[in-house]
Amino acid sequence: MSSGSKQPAPAAPAKQPAPAAPATPAEAVAVQEELRELVDLVGPGPAAPATVAGLDVAYAQSGDLLAAAVTVLDARTLAVVDSAVSVGRPAFEYVPGLFAFRELPALLAALDRLTTVPDLLVCDGHGLAHPRRFGLACHLGVVTGLPAIGVGKTPLVGEWVPPSAERGSWSPLRDGGEIVGRVLRTQDGVKPVFVSVGHRMSLDNATAQVLALTPRYRLPETTRTADRLCRDALADAE
DNA sequence: GCGACAG
DNA sequence: ATCTTGTCGC
């Protein structure tokens, strides 16, 4: 578009030029230290997103092949309206705290294949609830410019007390003197999940979105549909 | 030194 | 993440 267009430029979320892929854990840490400054902690993010994306990755037994999937759900009906997959190799060894570098390239490739742009990314892993406050959800949020939240099944950092047994109850996840997320009960009597902000979202809104995505099961429908898709894609690839 | 450690 | 049998419960 020329600078003489009638309309002002759309307020497109600023994508972040992807830094070179790190080759060593030390380089990966340096990338995190650099990108963490770009995380938007204010949000508050969309109160009523039209579409919400789920991202997940499945690995082959051999460990040298993976399939990444993104499913986009209508936030109101939770029906899948778009999806994409990408098969590849793990881009990094698995190191707790550097987990994102393994799956990021494949996840970004899958995101690129979508025909729509989701209003929110729901990631399988943590956001701020990370040793350097830059988990997968922050990384994906900063690189895509999209609002993002992290939903982890097990803790990585922090201390907490179990929330009461009813769906919707939560307790703060604390680490190093700060609140980095929430331990949220998504169904009565099930193990809680660990919700944290990724990018351009408030913790309150992140919690609300996760509850809206868990009408029946412990994990968000976004995660469930993406999990099924990447498993199927991996089976086809083998 | 020992234990913990997203997926 | 993935490897794994049965089992308890709706």
> Residue A208: pLDDT above 70?
yes
Q: How far is it, in rounded angstroms, from Cα A193 to Cα A185?
A: 6
Residue A45 falls within a domain, yes or no? yes
Q: What size, in residues, is chain A?
A: 238
Residue A173 beta carbon within 7 A of nucleic strand C: no
CA of A191 to C1' of C7 (A): 19
Residue A2 falls within a domain, yes or no? no
- Average pLDDT score over residue span A150-169: 95
Residue A13 falls within a domain, yes or no? no
Extract the runs of DSSP E, i.e. beta strands, from A60-211: 66-74, 80-88, 121-124, 148-152, 170-175, 178-184, 193-199
> Residue A196: pLDDT above 70?
yes
Q: How far is it, in rounded angstroms, from Cα A228 to Cα A85?
A: 11
Residue A32 falls within a domain, yes or no? no
How does pLDDT run across A97-108, given as a tens digit for each residue?
999 999 999 999
Range of the domain at A64: 40-237
Residue A201 beta carbon within 7 A of nucleic strand C: no
Residue A199: Cβ-neighbour burial (10 angstroms; 0-12, 13-18, 19+): buried
Give A170's pLDDT tier (boundaries 50, 70, 90).
very high
Q: What is the CATH number of the domain that holds A226?
A: 3.30.2170.10
CA of A146 to C1' of C3 (A): 36
Q: How far is it, in rounded angstroms, from Cα A170 to Cα A204?
A: 11
Residue A20 falls within a domain, yes or no? no
- Average pLDDT score over residue span A168-185: 96
A115: which DSSP letter? S
Residue A9 falls within a domain, yes or no? no
Tell me the residue type at A73. L
Residue A33 falls within a domain, yes or no? no
A182: which DSSP letter? E
Closest by Cα among A145, A144, A154 to A196: A154
Give A39's pLDDT tier (boundaries 50, 70, 90).
very high
Residue A6 falls within a domain, yes or no? no
Residue A237 pLDDT: 83
Domain total in chain A: 1
C-alpha A78: how far from chain center: 17
CA of A125 to C1' of B7 (A): 7
